[in-house]
Structures are given as structure tokens and as C-alpha cells.
Structure 1
């Protein structure tokens, strides 16, 4: 029986989300009956934790349910490469690239994909003067779950100041980019296959809209013109390819309907999407007739093939 170790929790601000993803994956794998499953809440001694699992035998494969820095930025992926243990989701380079929103945007733009215009700012230099014309978005370069994201809509709105920004979230740098009015869309990728387009009914898809009891409703398939749906699927597949994504990933969009197909802009690519039956990627899999159990099993088998 294949030994699967679920990594969850970890050191980032997204630990709570990761624990939910990891526990859900653990229960699903155990219920499947085809795997011997253990789970660990990751610490800085994760190498020892991995070696000590399964009575000191270690795992055959790792199910990576970590989110945020150290879990989806190439760090733990590099450790697992050194240990020779196959793991779910994207590899070292792709994980690091997608976690850095500025670099991944540069790569996508170079490949001809539409991304919002913007630039990097040093947060110490933000002194209450708008760093670009409104409306714009200020967000951390390397964090997830919309931590630290601010939308500045009007010139009369207070401009960001360094003293109200948290270094543990921003790390001294941030992205400012043009705000795209319209619809929030997302496309999950199962390997290199785009599954569907979901619309998230929220003007600002923040942490509460994702995870609280006020979670924003999802519409799947999104009610879009056929050419916009086709373009979103094609752009997602191309983004995943140029960024080297594998396993399960997700491409997030904004769509300005006034611009038609040309109003689709990729915001970012998530190499470690949330893993519960109601998460966006799992919902799209279910829409395509893939149960949550089948999706999780495919992720483990897909990882095992890359030993």
C-alpha cells in the first residue's frame, strides 16, 4: 500500500487555510482505502518530520497541502527534491515563479498574455501620495489568500502610507497595478487541461469572501459570451504552460465586459489552490464529473509518476 504523507499547517499566515485543506485531503485519502496515510503540521524541522513518518520509513509520496511562503514558493519543493520524494502540485521553479506575482506577470506578458499594467514599489517610500493613477490595487508580491490587498478607487481616497503596511505581509515591497472593473473569474487546471470557468460574485474577493460564513457565491459555468469563455480557457492553459505548472493549479482573472474578449486580464496563477470539496478547483472538477475522491487520488498518482 502506497504511503502518502500530507504536509499541512506550516509557517505562513495561511496556516489556518492549509490545515483545513490538509485535513480534508487526509480524510479523503484514508477513506479511499488504497493508501496508508499520515499527516504532519509542518515546523522548521520538516526534514526530520518527514524522515520520522511511517515509523521511520518515510513516505512514498507527499501530498503538499501547504499554502503561502515556505509551502508553495519552491522552498519545501526543493527539500523534497533533495530527499528524492515525489510530491503533488508544481515543481521548484514554477512554484517560486508563481509565488512572485511580479516575476510571473513579466513571464506571462512576454508570452503575449494580458495582465494588468503596474510596477513594484518600495513600501518605505509610500508616503501618502498615490503611486499611480486611480483606480489601482496595492498587493504583496509574495503572499496568498488576498492578505494585504487594498483597492484604491478614487483620487480622494487615502493613499497608502508605509506606517500602516505590515512588513511581515509585504516584506518591504509591493505591486501597484491598474484595477480592472467588472467580473472575477477563475479557471482550474488539471495538469494542462483547463476544467471550466467560474465567476465569483464578489467585487473584491478578499479573505472573508473566500473562507468565512459570508463566502461569495460561485457560478459554474460562468454566464459569459462563448468567445469570452473560450478565451479564458485558452489563456489559462497557456499561462500554466509558460509558467511550468503541473498537478492542480488555478488561474485567476478579471474581465471588463466593456472591452469584450480583450477585457480578460490574468491576475495571478495559484500553484496550491485550496483543497476542500467546495473549493473552486474541486467545484470545477465536480462540474466535469470528477469526484473529490477521484481528484485527490489523481493528484497522488500524478505525483508518483514523476519520481
Structure 2
């Protein structure tokens, strides 16, 4: 499993800096206190919303099942709620919602708006941040306006002059659907004549498609919980010439994850600060994840934000939390407690 691979890398990489060690000690003590003083009644009846009808349904089913099992194991009155099979108005019967509904419908402001209308507390970001975060182009435009470095990009249509795109952004390129997550519909383009097919793949996921400059270098993800950036994770697909695609994220067992990430202390703090600024700029709340690259010259580039990150065995939020001394049960409890 990827988690085994990750553990191997954690054990054989350099040790964390003293700040991380201090956090681990504090969080381990906090976890112990939480396990010894749990008041499950404060949550009332909890709907763990997952599944749905988006292209990320399969990932959501895995994430949600893990969260549901964790909450139930801790004695919380938690129930699975799948909007694909149930009337959304049935959520009125619950006291709060743990949202693990990845993709459209759950991560784009739609569910957030319904729950706000029903006056039901929910985990994670609200309408604005969710809608922005699901739109890669508007997120990047916002970051640019805030002076935050993000990889150059262009919007594409069927009438786009492909040569002009290459002239502007260079090669390689990454072609992405604007409103999808989990790397769905994405293609790396190395040659001009590959662009039309890559566009055709992406446009199957929706009309909005973008081309983004390929950043050659190291890929990182930064988990943010309670307005704090957790230890940075470096991702390394088995095929380093490719990218961290859907298969590498959820199916393969040969992707490597490094905590510590290999950055020096100053660079890691800089990347954490950049990611936290990006998170705040979108008005994200509670928990989430920022993806970024470091080019060969050492510059950092923001890629995108995830406002409902995965919680599967391959997922990065539990991995970062573990590096802070927080086990999966404590993580799920902590995220749910943000709704109180």
C-alpha cells in the first residue's frame, strides 16, 4: 500500500525540525486528552455526506466510509447520507454534516448553500471558498491579484490557436478541466500536435478547459487545518516524467511520499506561509489542501486548492496529521468539532 511506501520514506528521510517535533509532542498529548474526555452527545445526529454523482464518486465513497467508520468507532451517532440516492431535504433531520462529498455538488458551493439555507453546521469551507476553489481559473486569477505566484495559464476553446498557446506558455503543458478534481481529465502535452486530443479529453468533463505551463521540479502538498500549515509533503510518482494523476493518487502503490519533504527549514516555512496566504485569499475555512511546485531555480508556484480533501488510505491529509502526532480518529473528531 502507498501508506507503507510513505512510512518507508518517512523512516529513512532526514528527521523533522525542532518545531515539528514540538508540535508532535503537543498533539500527542492533545490526542490522549481527547480520547479520555470524549463527549459524543455534543455532536447530536451527524450526517456523513459522501458518494454523490460527480466523477469523483468512487473516491468519495472510499473517503466517506473511512470517516463514517471512525466516527462510529468513537461512539458518535453518525449515519451515511448519499445525495445520489436520498432527497437532500432529509438532511433537516440531522444536527450537523461532515462533508466528504468530493467534486461537483459537494465541493463547489452547492451543498454548502443548501446547508446554510437549512441552518445546519457543516465541516469545511462555505459557499464562496468552495465555489472559487472548484474553479481553477478564478482561483488562479484571485491569487495573481493578491500577488501570489501561480503557474501561468490560458483558457482553451475548440477554436483556440494551438500554436499561440505554445508560443505563450511553452512546452510541455498540462491540460486540465477547470471544474474537476482528483486530476480527472488531465493530460501532459509534450508536442504541439498532442494539444487537440488533450483538449478533447478535458472537454468531456465540461466546457471550461485550461492549459497550464508545465513546471519541471518537485511537487508538494500542504495541508491546512485550523488556519495552520502542517508539515509539507513531497510527492514523487514512480514515473517522475509524468504527474501525480488519478492513478498515482488512488490506485498505484509505487508513489513515494516524503515527510520531512527535503526542503531546508527556511524554504519549508516560506512554502507554508505562501500556502496559508493562498488558503486565506480564497476564504477557505476549517481544513483543506494546497498543491504547489518548486521549479529547478527554486521558485515556488501554486497549482490549486482542495477544499474537501480525500480521506482514503492513499490520502495526504491523514498523512500530514500523522506527522503531527494526530491519528485518524483524532483527525476526524477534530474536523467534526469545528462545526460546534
Give the unaligned 5+ runs of structure 2: 1-40
Going from structure 1 to structure 2, the CA distance change for 1:163 and 1:250 (only over 3 Å counts) comes to closer
Give the 5 Å matches for 1:174-193: 174-193=209-228
Asked if the contact 2:60/2:102 (under 8 Å) is kept, the reply is: yes
* Structure 1 stretches of 4+ moved >6 Å: none
Which residue of 2 is the match for residue 158 of structure 1? 194
Q: Which residue of 2 is the match for residue 3 of structure 1?
A: 45
Q: Which residue of 1 is the match for residue 179 of structure 2?
A: 142
Q: CA deviation at 1:303?
A: 1.6
Check whether the contact 1:191–1:248 (CA below 8 A) recurs between aligned residues.
yes
Q: TM-score, normalised by structure 2?
A: 0.81
Contact 2:222 2:289 in 1 (8 A): yes
Q: Distance in 1 between matches of 2:202 and 2:279?
A: 31
8 Å contact from structure 1 (residues 253, 268) kept in 2: yes
8 Å CA contact retained: 2:199, 2:209: no
Equivalent residues of 2:98, 2:123 under 8 A apart: yes
SS at match of 1:269: strand
Structure 1: 5+ residue stretches without partners = 52-57
Quote the Cα distance in structure 2 between the aligned partners of 1:190 and 1:28. 18
Distance across 2 between alignment mates of 1:164 and 1:276: 30
Q: Please say if residues 153 and 211 of structure 2, whose CA atoms lie closer than 8 Å, have aligned partners that are also in contact.
A: yes
Counterparts of 1:162 and 1:299 in 2: how far apart (Å)?
A: 37
Match of 2:207 among 166, 169, 172: 172
Instruction: Describe the superposition over 1:239-274 as per-residue Cα deviations: whole angstroms up to 9, x where unpaired.
Output: 111111111100001111x322xx110100100100
Decide which of 56, 61, 67 is 1:25's aligned counterpart.
67
- Residue 184 of structure 1: how far off its partner (Å): 1.0
Map of 2:106 onto structure 1: 71
Is the counterpart of residue 80 in structure 1 residue 115 in structure 2?
yes
Q: CA RMSD in A?
A: 1.8
Count of residues paired in the alignment? 291
> CA separation in 1, counterparts of 2:337 and 2:199?
47
